[in-house]
Amino acid sequence: MRTLDQTTIRAPVERAFEAASQVERWPEILPHYRWVRFLERRESGGMVEMAAWRPFGPLRYPTWWVSEMTVDPRGREIRYRHVRGITRGMNVAWRFAPVDGGVTVTIVHEWHGPAWPLIGPPAAGLVIGPVFIHGIAARTLAGIKRYVERT
């Protein structure tokens, strides 16, 4: 399963990268995030627990995961390796590319799916990726864009 979400932000790449890498602030600027907290902090990231809501019309479904986060300012990349939760084993890369008048931010999620016999890969490719992962990632990018462009 592979999902790709992308947006262009009208702001300097450094400002977009900073907003995306300061994950503990996400619940303040992204209403669909329930909480984000570091379980272990390191100079270049650490172990981070995240929880978000995935809306379905008037209903909200709670999601939760723990990731190993690596922040690479020189490479303009933020990487996550999901280590707990239903998406365990998923790799995520946020990439920031300067463009005229701003920065293009791309999020790529790659995952083989949950370790469920027979139905794991189809569940990932047909439901978890396009519905849950894309649904949250698209909202996250849109919220980071709104925040960065207005500050």
Residue 24 DSSP code:
G
pLDDT digits (tens, 9 = 90+) for 1-32: 999 999 999 999 999 999 999 999 999 999 99
Is residue 57 very low, low, confident or very high in pLDDT (cuts 50, 70, 90)?
confident
- Report the CATH number at residue 23: 3.30.530.20
**What pLDDT shows up at residue 58?**
85
What phi and psi, each to the nearest 5 degrees, are found at residue 81?
Answer: -125, 110
- Displacement of CA 37 from its chain's centroid (Å): 14
Could you report the per-residue pLDDT of 59-85, keeping only the tens digit for each? 888 999 999 999 999 999 999 999 999
Number of domains the chain contains: 1
Residue 42 confidence (pLDDT) above 80: yes
CA distance 63 to 32: 10
Residues written for the chain = 151
Beta strands, E only, the chain: 2-9, 33-42, 45-56, 59-72, 77-84, 91-99, 102-110
Could you tell me if 49 and 66 are in contact, meaning their C-beta atoms sit under 8 angstroms apart?
A: yes
- What SS3 state is found at 151? coil
Residue 65 structural domain = 2-150
Reported as a pLDDT band with limits 50, 70 and 90, residue 129 is: confident
Q: How much of the chain, in percent, has pLDDT values that exceed 90? A: 76
